[in-house]
A = this chain, B = another copy of it.
Amino acid sequence: MANGRGILTIVSGFAGSGKGTVMNKLISEYDNYALSVSATSRAPRPGEKEGVSYFFKTREEFEEMIRKGLLLEHAEYVGNYYGTPSEFVFARMDEGKDVILEIEMQGAMQVKKRYPDTLLIFLTPPSADEIYKRLKGRGTETDEVIDRRMKRAYEETKFIKDYDYLVINDNIDDCTARVHGIIQSAHHTVEHEMTLVESLTTGLTKFQ
């Protein structure tokens, strides 16, 4: 149950942690969530829709957004910019929606630095062996790619401490319920409820 402004949550996780599935399940099972729409400087692919798949920008437009501070976070991959426009996110939060961003650690840290209220959740398979098993089980990736991802997972463990929550994805329903519980609990932190504290204080002065 939402109260007041929405919560901004970032979900990151190891390869094979099932981030995407959990996000889709949150969106489809509960009506209080909104996904963020990213901006990119890459060209639209067939079927991609402006404002749904991405906000498509030229490199110049994207760089102007960076300069003007209009992005919550951004990064460059293989020559294209990707980022999260703040305006879209804040508009959904003002409507009371809990906005979820699925982004990587570096982006998560950029956002947390500027907006310390952001809730950072990291998803993990139950064990290192299970990360390997899930990657291998996909059958779509070469041993070299799997190897690189396992090395990267190791590097990522060093930054888990900068997240607020670490959630095991051993079962998609349980994991989704846990993530939902964490985000809904965030609505009741004292920081989020300062308006209520003020209205109780004002109300109580009448009885003094």
Interface residues of A (CB under 8 A from B): 1, 122, 124, 127-129, 131-132, 147, 150-151, 153-154, 157, 160-161, 163-168, 174, 178, 181-182, 184-185, 188-190, 193, 196-197, 199-208
Q: Return chain B residues, CB-CB under 8 Å to A208.
A: 150-151, 154
A68 CB, nearest partner CB in chain B, Å: 33
Q: Return chain B residues, CB-CB under 8 Å to A157.
A: 197, 200-201, 204
- CA gap between A200 and B1 in the complex, in Å: 34
Q: A127-B200, A181-B181, A197-B157 are in contact. Are A189 and B207 (CB under 8 A)?
A: no
Q: Report the nearest B residue to A14, measured CB to CB.
A: B200
Q: How many copies does the complex hold?
A: 2
Contact B160 A197 (CB under 8 A): yes
Q: A196-B166, A201-B154 are in contact. Are A128 and B207 (CB under 8 A)?
A: yes
Of the candidates A147, A200, A202, the one having the most CB atoms from chain B within 10 angstroms of its own CB is: A200
- CA gap between A98 and B195 in the complex, in Å: 30
Q: Report the nearest B residue to A186, measured CB to CB.
A: B185
Give the contacting residue for A190; candidates B129, B164, B205; CB below 8 A: B164
Contact B166 A190 (CB under 8 A): yes
- CA gap between A160 and B198 in the complex, in Å: 10
Contact B204 A188 (CB under 8 A): no
Q: Report the nearest B residue to A192, measured CB to CB.
A: B166
A36 CB, nearest partner CB in chain B, Å: 22
A2 CB, nearest partner CB in chain B, Å: 12
